[in-house]
Amino acid sequence: MHNLEYSERLHKKPVNVVVVGSINMDLSAFVKDFPKKNQTIAAKSSEISAGGKGLNQAVAAARAGANVTFIGCVGDDSAGIAALQVLKDNDVDTHYIKVDKQTHTGTANIIIADDGANMIAVSAGANYSLTRHDIARASSVLQSADVLLCQLECPLDAVEQALKIAKAASVITIMNPAPAVDEATKLLPYADFVTPNETEALSLTHIDPTLPENRPLTTRRLMSEGAKNAVVTLGSAGAYVTAQDGRQFMLSAFTVDVVNTTGAGDTFNGAFACAIARNYALTDATLYATAASGISVSDKTAFDSAPTHEITVDFIARCTYLDTLLKHDESSITR
Ligand code: RIB
């Protein structure tokens, strides 16, 4: 496939994406190496920013060009105000974000090592105040979406309610099982696409997708639990996909200088949601999301590193090794 053909296929049709998810204040410390247990180390630098998987994904989808509406909850504090402002600045509709006066906005303590790897501890705060009632209040916006995108940093019953409303209205659903909480598998029957990373996929299936020979089995296990299509993101290795019609492919990642992998999966999911909403072919949607995610890891912050549609398309157009990235996998369905 010639790069120019990609540029033409990756159109910017206006689409509606609804994100049900988390909003956090991220406190990130940049260190040479992770501290050991009971050890205090000096960070090289630190940064306070808006984050949360939901917020990061919403910003990524909006920058990819989708009209995004967010359903979530913040505390009545400065972190909540700052996060709402970030969403508004990125043209995300915040009308369905509740403010809970009883608790704090979610927080995430993040440590990022020199090799770009991260460790994250999240205190859910107001994210856990999102209820089925809040979701029901947003029914009409869910029903008129092209795609619903959700993760698991909010109560599972609220996420389940959103998925049910969307499915009943034939809206395409993408469930990013991050983090891979207990009972996440019960949501798989409502997911048109499930998009775990390698550790989440391992936790959900007990199969290790970092081993190439396990990848078909991992995606098929997710599909046997109810997901229609399975997309396992594999960090610097790329993404492995099994589609509803049985097609399977591996898309290798782009070669980039890694600065911070925090939120790379979120950028993938936000861009992927926009691409699926635009009805891109599944290989094109995966390529588009992989490119957006690749661009994001070469930047320092999580949400602010998500690229615009134009940047992603230009990045793909200028790639000199595009033809080497996609490999169709002919392994048997029963494997
Ligand atoms: O995926 C990255 C995100 O996970 C961070 O922004 C942090 O808030 C946690 O939710």
Q: Is the pLDDT of residue 77 over 80?
A: yes
State yes or no: pLDDT of 31 exceeds 50: yes
Q: pTM for this structure?
A: 0.96
Does pLDDT of 20 surpass 80? yes
- What are the tens digits of pLDDT across the range 164-174? 999 999 999 99
- Residue of 240, 250, 190, 189 whose CA lies nearest to 219: 240
Q: Report which ligand 1 atom has the smallest distance to the Cα of 55.
A: 6
Q: What is the pLDDT of residue 331?
A: 64
Where along the chain do its domains lie?
3-23+51-105+124-325
Helix axes 264-277, 282-297, angle to 10 degrees: 150
Q: Among residues 26, 100, 192, 266, which one is catalytic?
A: 266
Q: Is the pLDDT of residue 190 over 80?
A: yes
Checking if the pLDDT of 332 tops 60, the result is: no
pLDDT band at 301 (very low <50, low <70, confident <90, very high): low
Q: How confident is the model at residue 329 (pLDDT cuts 50, 70, 90)?
A: confident
* C-alpha separations of 144 from 16, 18, 173, 283 in Å: 8, 9, 12, 26
Q: What pLDDT score was predicted for residue 51?
A: 96
Residue 119 Cα to ligand 1 midpoint, Å, equals 10
- Residue 44, pLDDT above cutoff 70: yes
For the beta carbon of residue 40, count every other beta carbon within 10 angstroms. Answer: 5
266 is catalytic: yes
Position 1 pLDDT exceeds 60: no
Answer yes or no: CATH 3.40.1190.20 is held by domain 3-23+51-105+124-325. Answer: yes
**Ligand 1, from 19, 122, 197, 304: best to mutate by most atoms within 8 Å of Cβ?**
122
For residue 6, what pLDDT is reported? 79
Residue 8 has a pLDDT of: 79
Across residues 207-230, what is the average pLDDT?
A: 98
More confident residue, 133 or 259: 133
Which pLDDT band, with edges at 50, 70 and 90, does 182 fall under?
Answer: confident
Q: Cis peptide leading into 14, omega within 30 of 0?
A: no
Atom of ligand 1 nearest to the CA of 266: 1
pLDDT at 92 over 80: yes
